[in-house]
Amino acid sequence: MAFDSQLLDGMVIFVEVVNSGSFTQAALTSGHSTSYISKEINKLESRLGVRLMQRTTRSLSLTPEGEIYFKQCQQIIDDAEQAHAILSGGQAQPKGTLRISCPTSFAMAQLQQVFSDFINLYPEVNLELDLNNRKVDMIAEGFDIAIRGTLQLEDSSLISRKIYSSQGLVVVAPSYLEKFGTPTNVADLTNHDAITYSHLKHPSLWSFTDQNGKIESIQMKSRVQTNSSEMEVSLCVAGHGIMLMPSFNLNGEVERGELIELFQHYQRPEINVYLVYPSRKHMSAKVRSFIDFVVSALANQTA
């Protein structure tokens, strides 16, 4: 990139206007006049070639481009303030927006209280939670942390840390067994319908380990494939197929008899949940504090 001495001009003023909610309040906070603030925003928009704000005499709102620019600018300012605190001998306090991607089911089952306790402990950190079962591109999409549950974590340049262990259960509804019969061994599964999770690398390939450690892999016939574990459970309970599901995604269906576990003489596969983040180097205080907090909160928990 060519050298640009004006690259950061207007950025601090822009962020202050957004956080203050008005040009007038930003002027009071910064000690400048309202006209100065307005001129700086106009110069910034002119240099960038986009409109960042829609403003009237009574309201101010960000354009889509302004939303994107604001998030990046806020992060740059947070990082600069942290660097200043470190160099001046101060202890950098966690602050700013922390963007986290997490599977919906795991967040709702295990992390509601964790998130609540974290924001109580760190009032200057704002959480942006993307509860979604898709695999995100952390770098391209600007996430600080991703939480992923998997049988096997893929090789990656990203850093991972295990925070939770669960077991996978092969389950089916009694109504399905009444209609199609009960598989007596894992090889029989090739004659049955499966409900599979689309975000796995090989959704229809299931592996079983017997008590002697022998592994047998079965290519399932997927009747339904979905990216929602909640939908998997619902369709399985309704009798549409056999499902391999982490126990933390189940909510008493086995105990109530709505689902029956198959092949209990085989070892249950271990499904681990990981915190994934870009790097251990130059980690911001907000990321470090969240990692430590979650690790402590979920220490030694299994399901």
Task: Specify the pLDDT at position 193.
Answer: 95
Task: Specify the pLDDT at position 282.
Answer: 60
Q: What is the pLDDT of residues 186-216, one digit of tens each?
A: 999 999 999 998 878 788 999 888 888 888 8
- Does the reported pTM lie above 0.85? no
The rounded distance, in Å, linking the Cα atoms of 215 and 130 is 36
> Hey, what CATH topology would domain 96-162+272-297 get?
D-Maltodextrin-Binding Protein; domain 2 (3.40.190)
CA distances for 18 relative to 37, 49, 73, angstroms: 12, 19, 11
- Which H/E stretch holds residue 277? strand 270-277
The domain spans of the chain are 11-87, 96-162+272-297, 166-269
Task: Specify the pLDDT at position 156.
Answer: 65
Give the residues of the chain that fall short of pLDDT 50: 89-90
For domain 166-269, give its CATH number from 3.30.10.20, 3.20.80.10, 3.40.190.290, 2.60.40.650. 3.40.190.290
11-87 and 96-162+272-297 share one fold: no
Are 184 and 211 spatial neighbours (Cβ–Cβ below 8 Å)?
no
Span 11-87: which CATH code?
1.10.10.10
Q: What is the pLDDT of residues 220-235, one digit of tens each?
A: 999 999 988 889 999 9
